[in-house]
A and B are shown apart, each in its own frame.
Chain A
Amino acid sequence: MTRTPIRTATVEAAGASTWWTPGWSNWRLALLVAAVVLPASVITFPVNTAFWLSLAAAAVVAVTAVVNAWGRQRGPLLVAPALALLFVTNIFPLMWSFGLSFFHYRANRAAAPVFGGLANYQTILTDPTVWHRLQTTALVVILTVGTQMIVGFLLALLFEKEFPGRRVLLMLVLTPMMLSYVAIGAFFRYYYEPTFGLLSQAVKVFTGRPFILLDTRAGALAGIVIADAWMWSPFVMLLVLSGLVSVPAYLYEAAEVDRASWWRRFRAITFPYIRSLLLLALLFRTIEAFKIFDVVFLLTEGGPGTSTETIGVYVYRVAFQYFRTGQSTALAYVLLFIVVVLTNLYLYFVKQRSAEA
């Protein structure tokens, strides 16, 4: 009896106000204002003023959204603090750096940023060095992800069966994944070191001469791929293994009865169960490998010369050694774009396969 009039009143009130009516609950208008204020302040005002104006605009959007949801949308209000934190620590810096990518700016100089439009994007996209580093990165991605998929898959096949000591061995195999990049880099640097290193000492037993792995491009690439694969093959193994153990045993028993070959069993029973997980592993590892920095920097510093310098290392140089801040943010956004394209490409294939299935 009492609920009907209230609902009617709310609907009427909502109907009376349009999206352009100013009010503390009109988040749409606040969002529109913020969308205008943010780029306008960045272009028009000094950097400090623009920063605070943008922050104020964002705060107004947040407040209007909260007022609008108050008493009606409990769920969204509960997650709002987490979203606010995400916005402050992640989304806002992301937007800010995106804005910076259109400016000529060096963080180590007192000079204020100067708007340059798409100049930074033009510079990096026409820079042969960037293309060279992208080619090197592509090579590293193909080699390292390929190795990880093969090794991870074989390890999963090994650990699929029960055998004595399996649990302990599984834990040991998973250990590299839990170590830090710095530890892995330092470990492999010593492992490959021609004077003291284990690898060189082992080869010397047969050849009588120290073995220098990192003195050629091929050797240095191999060194990086081995270190990265050592760290991340267990991750692929873990995903594939979860698929393998989920295959119902009766399917294999039926195949046994039908005297199906190992290959036939794998193609018809095992692979459909692990296909999506393999694609997931491929997606994760490709994205990570594309951003590879730590292992390369610690093992070869991009050398010999620049032969193993990936785009991740190059971004670091542009940002923190050359201090071309505007250019480095533009380069980072080009990389982000490539990663997003790659991700969507994979997701497209996954969906297509699912539709076929």
Chain B
Amino acid sequence: MTICWRIARVLIVVTTLGLVDVVVAPPRPAVAEDIVLHMAVPDWPPTRIMKDLADKLYHAPSGNKVTLDADFIPWPNYYERLAASLTSGEKKYQMAVSDSQWLGAFIEGGYYLKLNKYIDADPQLQAILNDIHPAVVDAYMTYPYKSKNYYGFPQMPDLLVVYYRKDVFCNAGEQRAFQARYRYKLPCTQQEMNNTDWSMVRDFGEFFRRKAGQKLAGQTLNDDFYGIAYQAGKGYDFSSMQINGFIWQHGGDIWDETGVPHAHAVGVVNSNTAVKAFEHYLSLTRYMPPVVKTGTMDIFKVDELFREAKVAWIIQWIGFGESTITPKTSKVAEQASFAMMPGLKGPDGKIIRWSNIGGQPFILTTWNSETVVKEALDFCKWWLSKDIQVKFAKAGGQSALKTVYGAPEYNTFRPWNQAFGPSLDWQKDVWHVPEFFELLVEQQEEFDKAITGQKTARQALDTIATFQEKLLKESGKIQ
């Protein structure tokens, strides 16, 4: 009897406490869950900043405890590691940073989640979409390219800008010597440098090429010094990204996937205009450091040459800017200035500008539960909120939101920001099709043969065009 009574008492107390809790306690989610968003990211400052901001500031509106678990993977292995994870079926990541060019391959593989139904159902996402620059929407979010099928959101929008040594360009002695030799003023301010065209770049290359022992801006050089450098490497896309800009500026084109199935490669990729543009690109390499002749002058080498004070003027992705202006990692931290990438002066004297967009979107994977998808989309909305994008930009990132990069104070965050917003208008992207890597590898090999003097521009482009035509016909992209 006693034992029965004791059990009954415990049950009564527990039941009473339960009732009190239900009646008195404030409303709360049925069950607050711990949700971890595993995200594959390349290991570099823009993703480190995102992780840092998420750790400090992100609170899921659902009341769940949502944490971002970023898997930082070194850039050189990033594609292989991500591809291996996605294709192996391990379903490790709920989100991933992806180069825009990989969209086609991984969407066709069934790994990236189509976002249209979520965007259609969410006015907040629609507002964000309307606020992102259209060139970035096309490049980072759509497959097929420029369609209305959306798959990603901008993580770090990036583009090519000019890095130059203001101590060299603004030196009074160099200014006088340049004026005397070329009959026009050597650009010094950012505004002046924004208005350069490729003929002026040739002059910079010729003028600033100095031997060890000669003087540069009043100082005697201990080593050879070079005028200009841009990417001309065989690896990944380390020449295509620059050559595409030249081709578009000259009025030529790469194979246009938006014209499927009638757009051909032969006759376009190797058109006379494209050949002229490629020859123009090659003609400037003679003013660059000798490593260009080896086909290994990729973006990392260009970055190193500039930070080691071996070159006066380069074209580089904004993503390298932070290490350039940091004294610990750069010999030119105090001297570096930034401007828009040059263009081609047209017959009317106006500068024609086109360039290949860089940067990356991030995507959601297809195997997540509806709860995880909802949390991931909430994270995307938080990330693309004005307040967080401003914080990201202040820490060294870039924002593709018009309301953020269009604000006057945006230009004060970093010295290259004044070149970012205006440049967005003339950005295009390379192919998004699943055959991207095959197209790219062949193209890079042929470009490299021309850069290292084994082929002419015409021969290289003819080979590329024939290869692309055959490959795209086999895959049904060209009829």
Contact = CB atoms under 8 A, between A and B. Distances in A.
Interface of A: 107-110, 189, 193-196, 200, 210, 212, 214-215, 220, 300-307, 317, 320-323
Contact of A307 (B293, B434, B441, B454): B454
A200 B446 CA distance: 27
A196 B434 CA distance: 39
Nearest to B105: A108
B308 A301 contact: no
Report which residue of A189, A196, A220 has the largest number of chain B beta carbons within 10 angstroms of its beta carbon: A196
Contacts of A194: 289-291, 293-294
Nearest to A211: B290
Contacts of B271: none
Given A194-B289, A195-B291, A305-B295, A322 B441 contact: yes
Contact of A215 (B87, B310, B452): B452
Given A194-B291, A301-B296, A305-B448, A322 B105 contact: no
Interface stretch (B106-114, B124-132, B169-177, B370-378): B106-114
A332 B355 CA distance: 39
Given A108-B105, A108-B109, A305-B295, A195 B310 contact: yes
A214 B452 CA distance: 10
Nearest to A200: B290
Nearest to A217: B454
A221 to B, nearest CB: 13
A189 B233 CA distance: 14
B360 to A, nearest CB: 18
A303 B108 contact: no
B234 interface: yes
Main secondary structure of the interface of A (DSSP, over half): loop
B70 to A, nearest CB: 23
Nearest to B298: A301
Interface of B: 80, 83, 86-87, 105-106, 108-110, 224, 233-235, 289-291, 293-296, 305, 308, 310, 434, 437-438, 441, 445-446, 448-449, 452-455
- Among B108, B441, B452, max chain A CB count under 10 A is at B452
Nearest to A210: B290
Given A194-B294, A301-B295, A305-B449, 11 more contacts: A108-B105, A108-B434, A109-B105, A194-B290, A220-B294, A300-B295, A303-B296, A304-B295, A305-B455, A317-B441, A323-B87
A210 B308 CA distance: 17
A144 B158 CA distance: 43
Given A212-B293, A303-B294, A305-B295, A196 B308 contact: yes
Contact of A306 (B80, B87, B293, B445): B445
Nearest to A297: B235
B464 to A, nearest CB: 13
Contact of A305 (B105, B109, B110, B454): B454
Contact of B86 (A108, A195, A300): A108
A108 B291 contact: no
A195 B293 contact: no
A176 B105 CA distance: 41
B448 A195 contact: no
B294 A304 contact: yes
A108 B291 CA distance: 35
Given A110-B108, A110-B109, A300-B296, A321 B437 contact: yes
Nearest to B447: A305
B437 A195 contact: no
Contact of B234 (A108, A110, A301): A301
Contacts of B109: 108-110
A302 B452 CA distance: 13
A323 B291 contact: no
B105 A195 contact: no
